[in-house]
Amino acid sequence: MTRSARITGSGSYLPAKVLTNKDLEGIVDTTEDWIYSRSGIRQRHIAAEGEFTSDLALAASREALQSAGRAPSDVDLIVVATTTADQVFPSTACLLQQRLGIHGCPAFDVQAVCAGFLYALDVVYRYVATGASRCALVVGAETFSRILNWEDRTTCVLFGDGAGAMVVEASESPGILSSHIHADGAFKDLLCVPVGVSTAYQEVLDGRAYTEMQGKEVFRWAVSTLGDAVIEILEANGIEKEEIDWLVPHQANIRIIKAIAKRLDLSMDQVVVTIDQHGNTSAASVPLAFDSAVKDGRIRSGDKVIFEAFGGGFTWGSMLVEI
């Protein structure tokens, strides 16, 4: 009997506070049209004071469990992808585990920035496929607004907060068919927060741990790398792009998404785009987009879907899934 890892439920959460492009005109030197024309973003959600990454993860997880028809007690593995953990330690996964009332199962975080959810889902896929887990909860959650310099218009207009979650279970039916993740630290300085606990803790304490990005270089590498990632997964599975129903890309920039679609000769009608509603939510991006397309009926049972993402490090990955 072949064991596969199948996505059986999904959920998402966006904070109530909405920050529009028009709002940003009063914060930094920018315009509503300038932001939209260069990114495709119309608004982003910002976590409230006292609202943390684990809060967002909890809301998305509860929805995913309900979607899958599972109780927290069914979960035997929790993996959270985040760059903006509540605490240095314990992990956000452990905090989520406690709040869900789950005891004893493995719970840990994965940090690969915007590619983090695919890294976490890859881990869960391998746990389930090898029999080490039967019902796993995987979450991408971020309060990325906390590591933005709100005087830097090149970064603060792009990112937002949110969470997405999936339940992945052992199944005899097809599910995750192939997963490919990569990294290259040679590009570490192109997209980063250049301080941390070990190197410059005082700057962290003083609230100066900000995201820095060399936008043109990141754009160029993202388009090239994500296009290659889709080709890699098609070749690895011996299929043609015509057999793919949906592409769910990391929601970083509409120009990146369109450039990838053009390179692959893929209609934008087959690409899930939600960036206009929540901006770049880093590790939450892919599960948020997926859950949106499931809820509105675009993605259905039996569809073949490619997930792909690219983040600081650089880190990147792609995954082929039958829903």
CA distances from 139 to 75, 81, 108, 151, 300 (A): 13, 6, 11, 30, 21
- What is the distance between the alpha carbons of residues 132 and 307, in angstroms, rounded to a whole number? 24
* Alpha-carbon span 311 to 279, nearest angstrom: 15
Specify whether 103 is catalytic.
no
**String of DSSP letters for 110-173:** E--GGGHHHHHHHHHHHHHHTTS-SEEEEEEEEEGGGG--TT-HHHHTTB-EEEEEEEEEEESS
Catalytic status, residue 237: no
Strand 161-171 versus strand 107-110 pairing type? unpaired
CA 111 to chain centre: 11
Q: Which of 21, 45, 253, 280 is catalytic?
A: 280
Other CB atoms within 10 A of residue 106 CB: 15
Are 272 and 279 within 8 A, CB to CB? Answer: no
Give me the phi and psi of 194, to 5 degrees please.
Answer: -80, 10
* Residues 79, 124 contacting (CB under 8 angstroms): yes
Phi, psi torsion values for 207, nearest 5 degrees: 75, 30
Active-site residue, selected from the candidate residues 21, 135, 250, 278: 250
Q: Identify the helix (H) or strand (E) that includes residue 316.
A: strand 315-322
Q: Is 114 a catalytic residue?
A: yes
Find the catalytic residue in 21, 45, 94, 114.
114
Q: Show which residues are catalytic.
A: 114, 250, 280
